[in-house]
Structure 1
Amino acid sequence: MKFDLDDPRWTQRQFIVAGVADDKTINNYIQLGHLKPHRIQGRRMFTALQAIEVGLTAKLATICSLPPSTGKQLARGAILGADGAWLRADAESGRGKLTGQKWIAASSHRQQVYIRKNAKGETVVSNEDETGEAVALIFPFQIFARSILVGLEKSAEAD
């Protein structure tokens, strides 16, 4: 299946089937302004990039107990910091590029960030550990993003 990462073609139900996040989390993110659905014929529609961002934000909230605002900041940084060419090529070419040895060999891309609390108790995220007190967070962004894309494809096939 070929699709544009910026095309609002995915429903909230497809997000859930794809494993992006559960219904409650998606509704909370919409209410808090972390996720802005596109309204098409009265339905909430989302893009694949939103799926990756929300999925990663939800994972970071679950695994690292990060607030959604911090998780979203990390997710957006990972999306912007990653080589977008592989992401667009996978979406445009269909599932063929998402399977086999080439996928495994190319899937080791990781992002590393540092997380710490400042004097006010706020969570601070940066690319360097300026204080020596931060915790390094390394996550396999490319593997995660590709799994979301595959999940979206499967959810579309199921409808």
Structure 2
Amino acid sequence: MTSVFIGSGILLVILLRSVLVVIGLYKDPILSSFEKYGEESVYSPMMALIIWAFIFLSYHLIIFVESSLLKIVIVVVSLVIFHTLFTNRDLLRQYNTVFRLFPRWYAQLSQRTSREERRRIAYLWLRLPLRTRLLYNTNDFYFNQWADLVLLSVAN
């Protein structure tokens, strides 16, 4: 029974992390997607939230359902939905606006910076102390000021 609570707790923490990314109170996953050289990799916070919510729901359905046959049906349906979601490119294109939703701070940053500048911001984000990152995670005004200072300090 404790393993059920541990599994639920871990999934709940991951789900809450995804919610914080979507609403803009946790910037690390989006900023870490800027670090890579080459073509910009696209991190979709809404897609991650949908996936983790689906896993959370499926896990709890499997735990609380008594019938073994119904558990197998839930697993099969879950796998079919995941397979359809990840292999159907038309579905991804059709709902591109949903999967490309980002927090306001990301929209502001991407409008005024280039790819190279966002990469520099991402690398300097890693060098910030934890308490400073917590402040900038929760306050977009201070984050934007810091990003502007980074851009001024590394300007060519």
Q: Same fold (TM over 0.5)?
A: no
TM (norm. structure 1) is 0.27
More helix by share: 2
Larger radius of gyration: 2
More strand by share: 1
TM (norm. structure 2) is 0.27
